[in-house]
Amino acid sequence: MYQLIDGKAISAQIKKEIAEEVEAMVASGKKRPHLAVIIVGHDGGSESYVAGKVKDCADCGFISTLIRFEDDVTEETLLAEVDKLNKNEDVDGFIVQLPLPKHISESKVTEAIDYRKDVDGFHPVNVGRMSIGLSCFISATPSGIMELLRRYEIPTSGKNCVVIGRSNIVGKPVASLMMQKGYPGDATVTVCHSRTKNLKEICLNADIIIAALGQPEFLKADMVKDGVVIIDVGTTRVPSTETKSGFKLKGDVAFNEVAPKCSYITPVPGGVGLMTRIALMKNTLLAAKHEIY
């Protein structure tokens, strides 16, 4: 019988731990952590992510500031706001919600953020320090995945870990973390992607599979061995008549057929997604405590 990795329970637990720590900080005379969020335009996905972040801040006892620009904001204006937040001592960390309109360079904006306030962990200094093995802000999804492995005490040393997908926000950083010395890490890591030729064979040799390719129900039962640990990062909206909203979230793993072969598996929803949200709160707390920089 497989063990379900309960991202909902773990993230609620972490949220509670953060909120308690914040109240203790405030009681001892320190200020509340303060996260600022810049949003540009009215993209539906971005709106709902940002609303979630503001709510999470409230739950954790953080102050949050939402800064809104319209779609036609110039890169110059946006960079000026970034500069203002870099210098604002009251703001511990901030993010610019992606994607940005096409006339604005995302990498230019990301690199303009002071890496010491880059709680999204997308600045090259944080990405580079993570690869080297130095302390840094780790981006939300990889951080959430590592926390799940840690809380469930899943062995990783010497395990064959297969990462499916090589995105900058999931595949590459989680591979980097899984190969670092220490726990969770010390895994033998294989990164697969669209050009990989023998994916099934590779997955059949995996002790841990981190699926982050964004293809609903891609990973089937005949691609995994018995006892595998599955971390499903996929969250694709597919039309559904079963829900009021008219859609359902699907992971990259065909859960019903794969789960019986697993030792541990994350559900979608209720797995990695919620951990991703809480990881931003953890980084903001770390920024407020100046524990990284």
- Closer residue to a copy of itself in complex, CB, 34/172: 172
The one-character DSSP state at 33 is P
Closest approach, Cβ 286 to a copy of itself, in A, equals 17
Per CB under 8 A, which of residues 235..274 are in contact with a copy of itself?
none
Per CB under 8 A, which of residues 94..133 are in contact with a copy of itself?
107, 123-129, 131-133
Largest CA distance in the chain: 58
- Exactly one of 6, 92, 120, 232 is catalytic; name it: 120
**Residue 238: burial class (beta carbons within 10 Å; 0-12, 13-18, 19+):** exposed
- Does the annotation mark 97 as catalytic? yes
- Closer residue to a copy of itself in complex, CB, 10/292: 292
- Residue 5 CB coordination number (10 Å): 25
Q: Give backbone dihedrals phi and psi of 162, rounded to 5 degrees, phi first.
A: -105, 125
Asked whether 250 and 236 are in contact (CB, 8 A), the reply is: yes
Closest approach, Cβ 279 to a copy of itself, in A, equals 18
- Exactly one of 97, 172, 207, 252 is catalytic; name it: 97
Asked whether 287 and 138 are in contact (CB, 8 A), the reply is: no
Q: Give backbone dihedrals phi and psi of 290, rounded to 5 degrees, phi first.
A: 55, 40
- Does the annotation mark 3 as catalytic? no
Binding track over 168-197 against a copy of itself, x by CB under 8 A: x---xx-xx--xxx----xxxxxxxx-xxx
Closest approach, Cβ 219 to a copy of itself, in A, equals 16
Measured CA to CA, the distance from residue 205 to residue 199 in angstroms comes to 10
- Does the annotation mark 120 as catalytic? yes
Q: How far is C-alpha 62 from the chain's CA centre?
A: 19
Catalytic residues, by residue number, are 53, 97, 120
Chain residues in the site for a copy of itself (CB under 8 A):
107, 123-129, 131-134, 157-158, 160, 166, 168, 172-173, 175-176, 179-181, 186-193, 195-198, 202
